Chain A
């Protein structure tokens, strides 16, 4: 699928999910009031950030154990970059929703296993990007980043199962949605954001490819003594 068309479909689906939230789902919840509407963009980013980090781990493993093709490393890095965006959106929307639901900005809550594991995940992948940008030799960068990416992926199931494993102070393991419109809107949003994020991953991958082109040309200049 052409990249431009893919991106446009992603944006249209996200706008459609906004339409469902605005015009289809009930405007208020009995306990949380209208703050529960934040859930419909919090959940898609949360689930897709984990998806993207797992995708990154898979590409890292393919790179490391499957012939070391540079394109696999580029896909892994692109997935991490977009995953970081999704994780940030999750933290931002979650933090605002927490203020409404728990009377605290979740940014400052350090007693909940789910939140702590997400913070750890965010900082781990921030370190991945910082680490990656500081290695100059492209081959070393790819190998070390892939190893880092595989290790970092271990935290993803920990985030998902944190509540089952450690219990929870605040964050519920699951939400029971009482209406079909809520269920449809939730999963439609997840699909919409997945399409958009995958388009962004493709764009980031193209940027990575361009960067390698620049590096190759600069290397050629160096070898030619220009």
Chain B
């Protein structure tokens, strides 16, 4: 194996990969407002999303979630996408939750991409600087 393919790294390394910090922070930010204390306790029946809150896109703490039937929950296959029935019992509005799910996905992907591009630029500048410095010190090895 070519021993020159790797070089010894003398630069100090961070104790943890920055990506891990970034992702842990993202997970913590998502999890923090949803702590169990806020959501513990039984959900009161009939205490669904209020009309005003749903209209403003704000989830209420006591929004009654849709509960699949026992049969459906026990089955390993779940039917998805069936249109609401005509019995007049429409499912609650989860628009705000959908917004947050899609928004956080975009933020994570954009954040990751931006971080990667910035890191690439920084490393590019560093490589350029080191090469120039090395060539100045050893012009014969140019």
List A contacts of B39 (CB < 8 A): 99, 104-105, 108
Closest to A169 in B: B73
Partner of A178, one of B80, B92, B102, B126: B80
List B contacts of A108 (CB < 8 A): 34, 36, 39
Partner of A219, one of B8, B16, B84, B137: B8
List A contacts of B58 (CB < 8 A): none
Contact A31-B8, Cβ < 8 Å, known A38-B98, A81-B19, A172-B76: no
Asked if residues B19 and A33 are in contact (CB atoms below 8 Å), the reply is no
Interface size of A in residues (CB-CB distance below 8 Å)? 87
Asked if residues A217 and B134 are in contact (CB atoms below 8 Å), the reply is yes
Contact A129-B80, Cβ < 8 Å, known A219-B10, A221-B134: no
List A contacts of B69 (CB < 8 A): 31
Cα A20 to Cα B78 with chains together (Å): 22
List A contacts of B26 (CB < 8 A): 88, 92
* A-B interface pairs (CB < 8 A), number: 253
Within 8 A of B (CB), among A172-226: 172-179, 182, 196, 200, 203-204, 206-207, 210-222, 224, 226
List B contacts of A163 (CB < 8 A): 76
List B contacts of A41 (CB < 8 A): 101-102, 105
Asked if residues B77 and A175 are in contact (CB atoms below 8 Å), the reply is yes
Say which one of A52-60, A135-143, A151-159 lies at the interface with B: A135-143
List A contacts of B134 (CB < 8 A): 217, 220-221, 224, 226
Give 30 CB contacts A-B under 8 Å.
A28-B90, A30-B83, A33-B84, A33-B90, A36-B80, A42-B101, A84-B23, A88-B23, A92-B26, A92-B101, A96-B97, A99-B97, A101-B67, A102-B65, A103-B67, A108-B34, A108-B36, A126-B24, A130-B20, A137-B8, A170-B73, A178-B81, A203-B116, A210-B124, A210-B126, A216-B7, A218-B11, A219-B8, A219-B9, A224-B134
Q: Supply 7 further A-B pairs (C-beta < 8 A) apart from A34-B95, A142-B6, A214-B127.
A: A89-B104, A92-B105, A101-B65, A172-B78, A173-B76, A215-B8, A218-B130
